[in-house]
Amino acid sequence: AQSVTQLGSHVSVSEGALVLLRCNYSSSVPPYLFWYVQYPNQGLQLLLKYTSAATLVKGINGFEAEFKKSETSFHLTKPSAHMSDAAEYFCAVSVNYGGSQGNLIFGKGTKLSVKP
């Protein structure tokens, strides 16, 4: 079975500060991992993905994430937070075994607040 765990349901940072959102995964097969962002009353937008190529993945809006197999982690970072980064962030793993069709299993989400 596969799962993801997001540590911290709410993270608050000051504008310009480092953003760090934590995600740990569990998977018996090589995982495909994603970070999505959700703004209020909207769907999800892909930030970045890990598909077994480079372990440091760069995404949109200045975000990046590093896949660390030894730590089973895929934390999301951004060097300098902007007010527009305030949103809900979801880490997800693609179900990748058996007869799966690649549906996503999501973490519980982390709400990012950015203070001026």
Rule CB under 8 A: which residues touch other proteins? 32, 34, 36, 41-46, 49, 51, 90, 94, 96, 100-109
Minimum CB separation from other proteins for residue 52, in Å? 9
Distances (CA, A) of 109 to 6, 7, 30, 88: 6, 9, 22, 6
Q: Which is nearer to other proteins, 25 or 90 (CB)?
A: 90
Q: Which is nearer to other proteins, 28 or 103 (CB)?
A: 103
Minimum CB separation from other proteins for residue 15, in Å? 24
